[in-house]
Amino acid sequence: MAEYTLISEPPLAGYDQDFDGTSLVAPQDLALVSIALPLGEEEKALRAIKSAYGIDLPDVGRSATTKKQDARLLRLAQDQAFVLFTRDKPGAAEMVGDLLKGKAYVTDQTDVWTGLRLSGSLSVTALERICPIDLHSESFGQGQVARTMMEHLGVLVLREADDTFLLLSASSSARSFLHAVETSIENVL
Amino acid sequence: MSQKNRIDGGLVNREKSVKFRFNEKWLRGYEGDTLASALLANGQLLVGRSFKYHRPRGVFTSGSEEPNALVQLRDGARQEPNTRATMVELFDGLYATSQNHRGSLEHDLLAVNDLLSPFLSAGFYYKTFMWPKAFWEKLYEPIIRSAAGLGKLSMLPDADSYDKGFLHCDLLVIGAGPSGLMAALTAGRSGARVILADEDFRMGGRLNSETLEVAGQSGPDWANNAVAELRSMDNVRLMSRTTVYGAYDHGIYGALERRTDHIADGAGKPRQVLWRLYSKRAVLAAGATERPIAFGNNDRPGVMLAGAARSYSNRFGVTPGQEVAVFTNNDDGWRTAQDLVAKGVHIPAIIDSRDSVPDIKIDGAKVYTDTAVMDTIGRKGVKAITLTNGKVIPVDALAVSGGWNPNVHLTCHQRGRPEWRDDLCAFVPGGDLPVGMAVAGAANGALTLAAALAEGHAQAAVQLKDLGFKVAKSDVPEAEDEPRNCAAFWHVAESKKRAWVDLQNDVTVKDIKLANTEGFRSVELLKRYTTMGMATDQGKTSNIAGLAILAEEAGKSVPEVGTTIFRPPYTPVPIGAFAGRSRGKDFRPYRLTPSHKWAEEYGASFVTVGNWLRAEWYTRDGEKGWRDSVDREAQMTRESVGICDVTTLGKIDIQGKDAAAFLDKVYSNTFSTLPVGKVRYGLMLREDGICYDDGTTARMGENHYVMTTTTANAVLVFRRLEFARQCLWPNMDVHLISTTDGWAQFAVAGPKSRDLLRKVIDAEHDISNEAFPFMACGHVTVCGGIPARLFRISFSGELAYEIAVPARYGNSMMAVLNEAGAEFDAVPYGTEALGVMRIEKGHATGNELNGQTTALNIGLGKMVSQKKECIGQVLSQRPEMIRDDAIKLMGFRPVDRSRKLIAGAHFLNKNDPADMAHDQGWMTSVAYSPNLGHHIGLGFIKHGDARKGEIVRAVSPVHGVAMDVEIVSAHFVDPEGERLRG
């Protein structure tokens, strides 16, 4: 038994707020791992992903949920994807690395990002105040994913459902990010 | 005061009376009124004083082009000067005050300026206040400044909040008059995503001000129905109270939406929202602005544009007066007479500058053709008019029409130049329009109703087809093409009195003539010399008449003279709206280190480094100033152990089969030879050979490196590496991703650092000097299995490590390290102590890597490997960069050890004069060294490495300080580096 114990304190842990039916929640135990496809060996990597998760890696700008491993694969670039899943302890990258049997490069991104899930009827209206990308369902439908900037912060935005968005931004600026999203909701209430 | 000028009809809600205050008077109006219409209804013709001469002025227009009726709204921190009364929606409790008078509005002491007018013509500043020269700054300018300007700022921080936003559409329709509504209907019915924006609070444009019918319905009814249909469509967004103020690149438009200006209590919501509208195509349907005719004393309250008089009577149920004459050079003016008579207002005379006039009978009106108004009589309101035939007619209002100018402004925001149309006596859009823009209706010169409706439909259809939409069949509703003949008649030459062209800037016909006589003949010079067309209205009612008069004087045609450039914004936008919500603490994002919470609890003072807040020192009880804390932290670290959060250093995860080769290219030194499990210091050069960034890079696996960058350059380095990977060497298998925020990293430094870490790192990891020597790195676990990374590197020069744990454990890790270190008297240290220790060791940071220095300058010339190619290598070998007497990074200490060194001081040889010709270099960093007991410094000095022991002068003329300093090695502490290897 070690003499000292470390306590896990993600920046927005436990945040859960309702704004007249529109909710903003910091999801618990969100694990995020980046996958890079080796140049010249992309096919092998893609096969490894399919074998690990049971689905093809979606096209760039799209995501898909997997039954196997209960995860979501987000394709961010030709050679880059993120895998998003729930895990309550460290070691997410090692786990994904093992699943892919070393056919792709993995990097742990869990603590790099902080997540906020915005859902409810005002979610699109609130995002109009900070999100430069077109969120109309024809332009950015369910499952689509994009990198953008909100209030000078880099943000990864994922449309999980019609009025549900998962927003990921840098963990060090989590308070500014939360303020940006909260202000947007309050301004349109 | 009763609403003596209120007449029947109009679109105001007579069920809802609204109380408001103008200066000290409480008045009443109706819901649906503007402040201007309510003031007129109450017979309040005098609403302000003019800019230069303090002449009495009244409401002149009914829209955003208003030059005269500028008022101050609200008071205290919410006070807003120069607000156009014609655009202010009336609400219960509205408080407005008149502007630009000393004493009361009725008895303005500065009205004396009007008597001095012979001395205040165009350019009078430049002519009058020339001498004595010294008087300008101290006497003339303060007096002029206090007298000039219109409203006053409260000088308090704005109490309102603002926001910004982003909207997207297929078709943006700017203006909701007949052509705009038709364009929006066409696009909406075709299934396109439409945004329809209009500056008014009621959509419909001129339809609300006219008695013209559309499809057998009244104009307002048709507009209402059109708006209702648009509102029912999911694909259409209606934005009233929204001014599209600028056309920018790629179909992006700026728009200001006034959200709560029209309500007494905005409930803390943003008052205005600045939208960025991304459109695939746009239809500009901004309508047209009526222009006045210049004649003597044409600025008196009661004189207004004929179209505005129709707006007040038809839309607001208000007449400008009981006896209203009409002066026109076109057919449209006659409609004012018709509409007012229909409402029971007496029209004593219609004066038309043309010989041939419409065959219309106006009851009770005497018609004067080929005649003009040359003067008005009255003071605070017009009492009578004098015609060119000598006739004097008593009136209490005069409606003037000089024709209509299409609102071409937004078509010119990307340097499009409008074209002259003789038949309209006006400019219409011409040249290159902003990409994706089409113009419809009056803005395009289609000044009649049927034509405007047809164009709105047609232009929308063209845009939609371009986007691949199948255009839904829409019948253009039936309407008339009302007569619009107009004469090119700009001013009344017979007038002997001052004839005003620009009411807002008090510019007269005479001023324009004077400018021409004095050589200011270009329209751009005319504007600047006379100030015509400046300020809040940007000359919307004055520009065309002004340049027509200039053309006449110069013997040119109007198109030869041309227009000034129209630039955004179309109407004023508050600075607060541009700032949006970015104010105070949230002006920009801030970043917190993982141990921020712990640091706050333990007395840290924070410093901003980029966006980061870093602990600069930790104050303990009894410490009187920052130096006490910093000295203690630096001393205790060297004596025992110190802990510092260094998470802010950039971390880049680099993987790939070519990672090693890639690093060899981006660093000046070699990394492919670095064994797995080892760290190396690396130096990056810019393409021109100047030092760019430095840091350590650890080889965690055969194809896996972890790079650290300086805090300041973390993003720049990442961007540069991405560029190198994607553009310079796309065939390399290299993948980059930032992990800066992912790992909480702590420097644990000092002779007891290993002892401390042994208490935290799980026992199965051997961190003895043999197993984990200087510059080793590896994966470990801490506190019973939490994964961590350990690096044996040292910035302080002591036996030191950096240990990284997943960021979520960072706050806890800081607490554990300090708790575990208690037996060694461990101290947390901040950036100041870190700075002291790095100066003691002669390590370069941003002060030394300042974008001007080379590897040779900082004593690392040998790190630029000549065995391989890297960015910056070739240009770093230019003769000037490797000269023998190049500046070198050295240490400096004061000869008189009690003296304090000054960063930025320049070095001079002992007997040389203090000038640039004798400059030897400069001091980059200084600190008090608690370990040496005196100040020490780093700096660059010519040929420094050969001058150890020499005494030079360090001079700072800014501080008035000069002292003798000795050149020494930059390594003040442990020059052999024995401690860090121990």
Q: Is B170 on the interface with A (CB under 8 A)?
A: no
Please give the residue of chain B at the shortest CA–CA distance from A126. B165
Q: What is the pLDDT of residues B396-451, one digit of tens each?
A: 999 999 999 999 999 999 989 999 999 999 999 998 999 999 999 999 999 999 99
Could you give phi then psi for residue A148, rounded to 5 degrees?
-150, -170
Q: Which of B704, B762, B819 sits opposite A2 (nearest CB)?
A: B762
Collapsing DSSP to helix, strand or coil, B659 comes out as helix
| Confidence at residue B148, expressed as pLDDT on a 0 to 100 scale | 66
Q: Which of chain A's residues have a Cβ under 8 Å away from the Cβ of B242?
A: none
Could you give phi then psi for residue B399, rounded to 5 degrees?
-100, 125
Q: What six digits make up the tokens of B540?
A: 């919307």
AA identity, residue B179: S
Mean pLDDT value of segment B76-92: 95
Contact between B812 and A7 using a beta-carbon 8 Å cutoff: yes
Closest Cα in chain A, distance from residue B724 (Å): 15
Q: Which of chain A's residues have a Cβ under 8 Å away from the Cβ of B662?
A: none
Question: Mean pLDDT across chain A, nearest whole number?
Answer: 96
Q: What is the pLDDT of residues B565-575, one digit of tens each?
A: 899 999 999 99
Mean pLDDT value of segment B582-597: 93
Q: Is B612 on the interface with A (CB under 8 A)?
A: yes
Q: Is A14 on the interface with B (CB under 8 A)?
A: no
Please give the residue of chain B at the shortest CA–CA distance from A5. B783
Q: Which of chain B's residues have a Cβ under 8 Å away from the Cβ of A175?
A: 590, 592
CA A178 to mean position of chain CA atoms:
15
Closest Cα in chain B, distance from residue A90 (Å): 7
Mean pLDDT value of segment A108-127: 97
Least confident of A102-111, B35-44, B147-156, B766-775: B147-156
Query: A176 to each of A116, A173, B645, how far by Cα in Å?
Result: 12, 5, 21
Number of CB pairs < 8 Å for A and B?
Answer: 154
Q: Which of A2, A134, A183 sits opposite B783 (nearest CB)?
A: A2
> Which of B161, B162, B166, B662 to mutate against chain A (most A CBs within 10 Å)?
B166
pTM: 0.93
Closest Cα in chain B, distance from residue A154 (Å): 11
Least confident of A94-103, B136-145, B324-333, B711-720: B136-145
Q: What is the pLDDT of residues B629-666, one digit of tens each?
A: 999 999 999 999 999 999 999 999 999 999 999 999 99
Q: Which of chain A's residues have a Cβ under 8 Å away from the Cβ of B811?
A: 7, 9
Q: Is B964 on the interface with A (CB under 8 A)?
A: no
| Confidence at residue B698, expressed as pLDDT on a 0 to 100 scale | 98
CA distance A129 to A150: 9
What is chain B's percent helix, strand, coil content, to nearest 5?
A: 25, 30, 45
Contact between B786 and A4 using a beta-carbon 8 Å cutoff: no
> Which of A107, A179, A185 to mutate against chain B (most B CBs within 10 Å)?
A107
Do the interacting molecules here have an ipTM over 0.95?
yes
Contact between B653 and A107 using a beta-carbon 8 Å cutoff: yes
CA B751 to mean position of chain CA atoms:
53
- Residues sharing a CB contact under 8 Å with residue B771, sequence separation 6 or more, in sequence order: none
CA distance B963 to B914: 12
Q: In sequence order, what are the beta bridge partners of B284?
A: B174, B439
- Residues sharing a CB contact under 8 Å with residue A55, sequence separation 6 or more, in sequence order: A64, A66, A68, A73
Closest Cα in chain B, distance from residue A11 (Å): 7
Contact between A173 and B589 using a beta-carbon 8 Å cutoff: yes
Q: Which of A111, A139, A177 sits opposite B807 (nearest CB)?
A: A111
Whether B847 and B903 have beta carbons less than 8 Å apart is answered as: yes
Contact between B783 and A108 using a beta-carbon 8 Å cutoff: no
Mean pLDDT value of segment B535-547: 90
Q: Which of residues 492-531 of B touch A (CB under 8 A)?
A: none
> Which of B171, B259, B808, B816 to mutate against chain A (most A CBs within 10 Å)?
B808
Closest Cα in chain B, distance from residue A130 (Å): 6
Whether B349 and B357 have beta carbons less than 8 Å apart is answered as: no
Contact between B167 and A79 using a beta-carbon 8 Å cutoff: no
| Confidence at residue B263, expressed as pLDDT on a 0 to 100 scale | 93
Q: Is A19 on the interface with B (CB under 8 A)?
A: no
| Confidence at residue B149, expressed as pLDDT on a 0 to 100 scale | 66
Q: Which of residues 46-65 of A touch B (CB under 8 A)?
A: none
Q: Which H helix or E strand runs over B663?
A: helix B659-666
Q: Which of chain B's residues have a Cβ under 8 Å away from the Cβ of A180?
A: 586, 589
**pLDDT-derived band at B143, boundaries 50, 70, 90:** confident
| Confidence at residue B125, expressed as pLDDT on a 0 to 100 scale | 67
Q: Is B589 on the interface with A (CB under 8 A)?
A: yes
Q: Which of residues 634-693 of B touch A (CB under 8 A)?
A: 647, 653, 655-657
| Confidence at residue B103, expressed as pLDDT on a 0 to 100 scale | 81
Has residue B150 got a pLDDT over 90?
no
Whether B186 and B477 have beta carbons less than 8 Å apart is answered as: no
Please give the residue of chain B at the shortest CA–CA distance from A174. B591
CA-based angle B730:B733:B734, to the nearest 5?
90
| Confidence at residue A130, expressed as pLDDT on a 0 to 100 scale | 97
Q: Which of residues 112-171 of A touch B (CB under 8 A)?
A: 112-113, 128-134, 136, 139, 151-153, 170-171
Q: What is the pLDDT of residues A40-65, one digit of tens each?
A: 999 999 999 999 999 999 999 999 99
| Confidence at residue B704, expressed as pLDDT on a 0 to 100 scale | 97
| Confidence at residue B133, expressed as pLDDT on a 0 to 100 scale | 75
Whether B503 and B60 have beta carbons less than 8 Å apart is answered as: yes
Q: Is B168 on the interface with A (CB under 8 A)?
A: yes
Contact between B742 and A109 using a beta-carbon 8 Å cutoff: yes
Contact between B166 and A3 using a beta-carbon 8 Å cutoff: no
Closest Cα in chain A, distance from residue B806 (Å): 6
**pLDDT-derived band at A1, boundaries 50, 70, 90:** low
Mean pLDDT value of segment B153-169: 94
Sign of the alpha-carbon dihedral angle for B733, B737, B743, B745: positive
- Cα distance between the two ends of chain A: 51
Please give the residue of chain A at the shortest CA–CA distance from B193. A136
Contact between A175 and B590 using a beta-carbon 8 Å cutoff: yes
Q: Is B278 on the interface with A (CB under 8 A)?
A: yes
Q: Which of A111, A128, A179 sits opposite B742 (nearest CB)?
A: A111
Q: Which of chain A's residues have a Cβ under 8 Å away from the Cβ of B647?
A: 172
Q: Return the HEC string of B535-547.
A: CCCCCCCCHHHHH
Question: Mean pLDDT across chain B, nearest whole number?
Answer: 94
Q: Which H helix or E strand runs over B51?
A: none
Sign of the alpha-carbon dihedral angle for B575, B581, B584, B588: negative
Q: Which of A39, A107, A173 sits opposite B733 (nearest CB)?
A: A39
- Residues sharing a CB contact under 8 Å with residue B449, sequence separation 6 or more, in sequence order: B178, B210, B212, B214, B479, B480, B481, B482
Q: Which of chain A's residues have a Cβ under 8 Å away from the Cβ of B738?
A: 112
The number of C-alpha atoms within 13 Å of B453 and in the hemisphere containing its C-beta is 22
What percent of chain B has pLDDT above 90?
Answer: 84
CA distance A185 to B18: 32
Please give the residue of chain B at the shortest CA–CA distance from A40. B733
CA distance A86 to A28: 8
Q: Which of chain B's residues have a Cβ under 8 Å away from the Cβ of A83?
A: none
**pLDDT-derived band at B117, boundaries 50, 70, 90:** confident
Sign of the alpha-carbon dihedral angle for B707, B889, B840, B899: negative
Q: Is B722 on the interface with A (CB under 8 A)?
A: no
> Which of A9, A12, A78, A111 to mutate against chain B (most B CBs within 10 Å)?
A111
Closest Cα in chain B, distance from residue A96 (Å): 16
Mean pLDDT value of segment B734-748: 98
| Confidence at residue A2, expressed as pLDDT on a 0 to 100 scale | 72
Q: What is the pLDDT of residues B233-265, one digit of tens each?
A: 999 999 999 999 999 999 999 999 999 999 998
AA identity, residue A79: D
| Confidence at residue B132, expressed as pLDDT on a 0 to 100 scale | 76
